[in-house]
Amino acid sequence: MDRIRLVIFDWDGTLADSAAQIVGAMQRAIAALDLPPRPDESIRELIGLSLVDALRRLYPDADVGYLRQLLDRYRAHWLADGSGEAPLFAQGLEALRTLHGEGLRLAIATGKSRRGLDRSLAHHVDVRELIVNSRTADETASKPDPLMLRELLADEGLQPEQALMVGDTEYDVAMAGAIGMPAIGVTCGVHAPQRLLGAGAHALLERVADLPVWLAQARAASR
């Protein structure tokens, strides 16, 4: 862990407590189009993938036109949600500030669209000021393809072992493992601890707030 220079975070379920809002917006979109219902858990467990990939898994037999309508309806319901942007998990911002203060560079790799992430960062300005780079699913390959991580590494001039991925889904952990990047799973999000460990997580933390202490301890143990 002494070699880590860049920490890459997922957004939904990792930094932002947004799972309930995402599921609610999708359920309203499904109802508006009179599509066959899907249980909340089936939607929840796909959070982290690009919206297009998630919809294809929910409705594998639907034609492209229907999926496009569902995508448009979902975005409309998300924007119309009176609760606005999802809050950050408790003490997450403080953890980011601590890591930044220690000289680590911080980035985001998310299944959100660029428009969606920019909207979230415009709301969470304190986070935006700490982030040096980001990738979204609509401008590169969707998770668990590691392309977004490769692009972030190329931008930063780093090797996989010099970065750390932090996420709440097996998609986050698997894409990091595909290129030899260590990954930490956080259990505050959508996938069970067993799934994170099965995908290759190096450690499990309850939330991002615990990362600075864990990283300091891991560095001390490696010396």
Which tokens belong to 33? 């189009």
Q: Which has the closest alpha carbon to 75: 45, 61, 55, 57?
A: 55
Q: Does 176 lie in the same domain as 104?
A: yes
Q: Walk across the sheet containing 203-205 and list its strands.
A: 131-136, 105-110, 6-9, 163-167, 183-186, 203-205
pLDDT at 80: 62
What residues form DSSP beta bridges with 88? 16
What are the structure tokens assigned to 14, written together? 């990792």
The answer to whether residue 220 scores a pLDDT higher than 50 is yes
List of residues 6+ apart from 26 with CB closer than 8 A: 43, 74, 77
The CA distance from 102 to 52, in Å, is 37
What burial class does residue 55 get, using C-beta atoms within 10 Å of its C-beta: 0-12 exposed, 13-18 middle, 19+ buried? Answer: buried
Q: Indicate whether 173 and 215 sit together in one domain.
A: yes
CA-CA-CA-CA torsion for 84, 115, 19, 83, nearest 10 degrees? 10
Same domain, 102 and 51: no
* Single pTM value for the model: 0.91
Confidence label for 67 from pLDDT (cuts 50, 70 and 90):
confident
List, for residues 89-128, the tens digit of each pLDDT value. Answer: 999 999 999 999 999 999 999 999 898 899 899 999 999 9
pLDDT tens, position by position, 157-212: 999 999 999 999 999 999 999 999 999 999 999 999 999 999 999 999 999 999 99
Mean pLDDT calculated for residue range 41-46: 92
Same domain, 211 and 195: yes
Q: How confident is the model at residue 34 (pLDDT cuts 50, 70, 90)?
A: confident
Whether residues 210 and 128 fall in one domain: yes
Domain carrying residue 23: 19-80
Q: Within a domain: residue 217?
A: yes
| Helix 170-177, helix 147-156: angle, nearest 10 | 60
Same domain for 172 and 125, yes or no, is: yes
Domain count along the chain: 2
**150 and 68 belong to one structural domain:** no
